[in-house]
Chains A and B, each alone.
Chain A
């Protein structure tokens, strides 16, 4: 893929020296903010914790072995389930929303897109805190349901509240990539399918879904990855009833002063995400092949 696109994009007259120079900022960025920190995390995972945090000798595999205790695997599993459900609900709401936006006039599309990203203008913690006020037993949701005889209900400090919070927090990251791929979709294809007698479900399944799949996968990753590592929402909306892997890692660094085990947990999450991104990359390759 790289050879084809870069050959296509490259402008004539750019010497190899210029190209090498222009890649320095990116390489420096990768080295300082990615390679070195990652190397440190890997190294820390095999060391012993110091009294006030930090790391010291000797080298040990204990931290890696501890990862396989059922307690930590259960936390990881429940984090994956929470993040997966949040991604699923974000898709369920985000896809129709993106589709609806593409049907608007271009002025209204701009307005709708601003509305989608508008919540990002408010601090993430404050938006999450607002949910506490909505969801608690004396809150608007419970009171509202009480009025019609369905309440009061207990939502705050449950796993459902955490999933709701994650879905809410990251849904714009689902809508935007799907919207972008819907934009690129040639409406003629849908018209042709319609003229040839394909019903709405068939048009969705055979045209809309496959052709927007790259956007959907990107959106799913954008929601899943930050959800998996989130520790603010489980703490504020889960009330400690729904611990996620992010909380566990945070606690190793800021409460247990166990940087080595925190690093080992981070590597576990990283390994999981690498696998997921590899699956996504191979899926994207396949869908490009279909496109051609």
Chain B
């Protein structure tokens, strides 16, 4: 899952859209002080939603294009959809101070955690989100927000190695197969440039937490990455799946869903034996929202069967909705085996959390490795 995930689909022309998202980001932001979400002022389960209207900000093309019509048909509430390109962009908007004019935002879990710590999020009212009962228990116990107190997962997944089965003597099983590649695979591997996924392979190979903030451990991770760098073809967050499809590379560190975009049966995905991360893209309600009942109803709608089916069939990410995920595993699992990963396997991944001040050290490592 990317800090700058643009929902590029399988066509390579959409890779350009991804590149645009990755490269040309709008900077906005501001500072904010900490403080946890205070207890919920009770919302009215019988509020007249036809009098409410909400603004939702999501990554482009990450949900059913007809979502507004369908949501209004179902709940009578009005909805406007806004777009953001990256987590950083939306977090900047939400923390700039004043009323951002957004009721519901899609952000990755660790960003939801940070927003909550800044006191910006409304607690989730489970009475107004009954579809929570349809989610896997594992998806309701994520590291950044156990019990869905301020966020509800929309999609979840992990990170691993995406590889060309036909171009390798044997499939990779360990992060070390990519970090210290056999000579024949040198200059035929890619890694993700974005933190924390740049660190992740080395962190796991060395037996550290994906969220480590220990300076000694981070130093070891950096040394491994500096050693790996000359064996890489490069760093690529946006088009790695088309390089795999073209046969230019044989292994790439990849988000599970993106590996599906290669559109080539020889491209496989594996979670290395040392383990990986567990990421989730979530929906949060802003405390500044004036139509919180409609905002909760929207979240409820988005984790319902219809919207979750659209997401998993079109984005090829895993759904936290049990019935939808099981149906997708049966229907899509043959073509995209990682869709069929069980929640138990997925939950073996380490949940990503906000790194706080250590985020700067992570970025420093990224700079040093890329500049070396």
The verdict on A206 contacting chain B, using a C-beta distance below 8 Å, is no
Interface size class of A (residues with CB under 8 A): 35 or more
User: Is B24's CB under 8 angstroms from A52's CB?
Assistant: no
The verdict on B3 contacting chain A, using a C-beta distance below 8 Å, is yes
Partner of B234, one of A231, A240, A247, A259: A240
* Residues A256 and B360 in contact in the complex (CB < 8 Å), given A51-B118, A251-B366: yes
Complex Cα–Cα for A50 and B32 (A)? 7
Complex Cα–Cα for A51 and B368 (A)? 22
| B22 contacts across to A, CB distance below 8 A | 235
User: Is B23's CB under 8 angstroms from A56's CB?
Assistant: no
CB of A209, distance to nearest CB on chain B (Å): 37
| B29 contacts across to A, CB distance below 8 A | 52-54, 257, 259
Complex Cα–Cα for A256 and B194 (A)? 11
- Best-buried of A54, A129, A240, A248 by chain B (most CB within 10 Å): A240
CB of B276, distance to nearest CB on chain A (Å): 21
Complex Cα–Cα for A21 and B194 (A)? 51
| A157 contacts across to B, CB distance below 8 A | 233-234
Stretch at the interface among B235-243, B302-310, B334-342: B235-243
The verdict on B19 contacting chain A, using a C-beta distance below 8 Å, is yes
* Residues A253 and B30 in contact in the complex (CB < 8 Å), given A52-B91, A243-B371: no
Binary contact readout A242-276 vs B (1 if CB under 8 angstroms, 0 otherwise): 01000110111111111100000000000000000
User: Is B233's CB under 8 angstroms from A52's CB?
Assistant: no
Stretch at the interface among A82-90, A101-109, A130-138, A191-199: A130-138
Complex Cα–Cα for A136 and B187 (A)? 12
| B38 contacts across to A, CB distance below 8 A | none
User: Is B23's CB under 8 angstroms from A125's CB?
Assistant: yes
| B118 contacts across to A, CB distance below 8 A | 51-52
User: Is B16's CB under 8 angstroms from A51's CB?
Assistant: no
* Residues A231 and B239 in contact in the complex (CB < 8 Å), given A125-B16, A138-B248, A257-B359: no
| A154 contacts across to B, CB distance below 8 A | 187, 233
Complex Cα–Cα for A157 and B189 (A)? 12
The verdict on A112 contacting chain B, using a C-beta distance below 8 Å, is no
**Chain A residue with minimal CB distance to B95?**
A52
Partner of B367, one of A56, A235, A248: A248
The verdict on B264 contacting chain A, using a C-beta distance below 8 Å, is no
Complex Cα–Cα for A56 and B31 (A)? 7
CB of A143, distance to nearest CB on chain B (Å): 11
Q: Which of A139-158 contact B (CB under 8 A)?
A: 154, 156-157
The verdict on B272 contacting chain A, using a C-beta distance below 8 Å, is no
**Chain A residue with minimal CB distance to B92?**
A53
| B23 contacts across to A, CB distance below 8 A | 125, 231-232, 235-236
Complex Cα–Cα for A238 and B371 (A)? 11
Complex Cα–Cα for A74 and B372 (A)? 9
* Residues A232 and B34 in contact in the complex (CB < 8 Å), given A154-B187, A241-B370, A251-B363: no
* Residues A240 and B31 in contact in the complex (CB < 8 Å), given A52-B91, A52-B92: no
Partner of B19, one of A78, A129, A240, A258: A129
**Chain B residue with minimal CB distance to A158?**
B234
User: Is A236's CB under 8 angstroms from B247's CB?
Assistant: no
**Chain A residue with minimal CB distance to B32?**
A52
| B114 contacts across to A, CB distance below 8 A | 51-52
Binary contact readout B250-262 vs A (1 if CB under 8 angstroms, 0 otherwise): 0000000000000
User: Is B248's CB under 8 angstroms from A137's CB?
Assistant: yes
Q: Which of A11-50 contact B (CB under 8 A)?
A: 49-50
| A253 contacts across to B, CB distance below 8 A | 27
**Chain B residue with minimal CB distance to A250?**
B25
The verdict on A65 contacting chain B, using a C-beta distance below 8 Å, is no
User: Is A71's CB under 8 angstroms from B367's CB?
Assistant: yes
* Residues A138 and B247 in contact in the complex (CB < 8 Å), given A71-B371, A255-B88: yes
| A55 contacts across to B, CB distance below 8 A | 31
Complex Cα–Cα for A209 and B286 (A)? 64
| A137 contacts across to B, CB distance below 8 A | 248
Q: Which of A50-66 contact B (CB under 8 A)?
A: 50-56
CB of B200, distance to nearest CB on chain A (Å): 16
| B363 contacts across to A, CB distance below 8 A | 251-252, 255-256, 258
| A248 contacts across to B, CB distance below 8 A | 367
**Chain B residue with minimal CB distance to A261?**
B360
Binary contact readout A120-133 vs B (1 if CB under 8 angstroms, 0 otherwise): 00000110010010
| B371 contacts across to A, CB distance below 8 A | 71, 74-75, 78, 243
User: Is B30's CB under 8 angstroms from A53's CB?
Assistant: yes
| B193 contacts across to A, CB distance below 8 A | 240
Complex Cα–Cα for A50 and B360 (A)? 12
* Residues A251 and B30 in contact in the complex (CB < 8 Å), given A52-B95, A157-B233: no
CB of A36, distance to nearest CB on chain B (Å): 17
| A53 contacts across to B, CB distance below 8 A | 29-31, 88, 92, 95
**Chain B residue with minimal CB distance to A130?**
B16
Complex Cα–Cα for A238 and B193 (A)? 12
| B16 contacts across to A, CB distance below 8 A | 125-126, 129
| A78 contacts across to B, CB distance below 8 A | 371
User: Is B31's CB under 8 angstroms from A239's CB?
Assistant: no
| B190 contacts across to A, CB distance below 8 A | 239
**11 A–B pairs (Cβ distance < 8 Å), ordered by A:** A49-B360, A52-B114, A53-B95, A71-B367, A75-B367, A154-B187, A157-B234, A254-B27, A255-B88, A256-B360, A258-B360
Contacts A125-B16, A235-B23 aside, 5 further interface pairs with beta carbons under 8 A come to: A52-B92, A52-B114, A231-B23, A243-B371, A258-B360
**Cβ-closest 7 pairs across A and B:** A239-B234, A50-B31, A240-B235, A54-B31, A53-B29, A157-B234, A256-B363
Residue numbers of A with Cβ under 8 A of B are 49-56, 71, 74-75, 78, 125-126, 129, 132, 136-138, 154, 156-157, 231-232, 235-236, 238-241, 243, 247-248, 250-259
Residue numbers of B with Cβ under 8 A of A are 3, 15-16, 19-20, 22-25, 27, 29-32, 34, 86, 88, 91-92, 95-96, 114, 118, 187, 190, 193-195, 229, 232-236, 239, 243, 246-248, 356, 359-360, 363-364, 366-368, 370-371
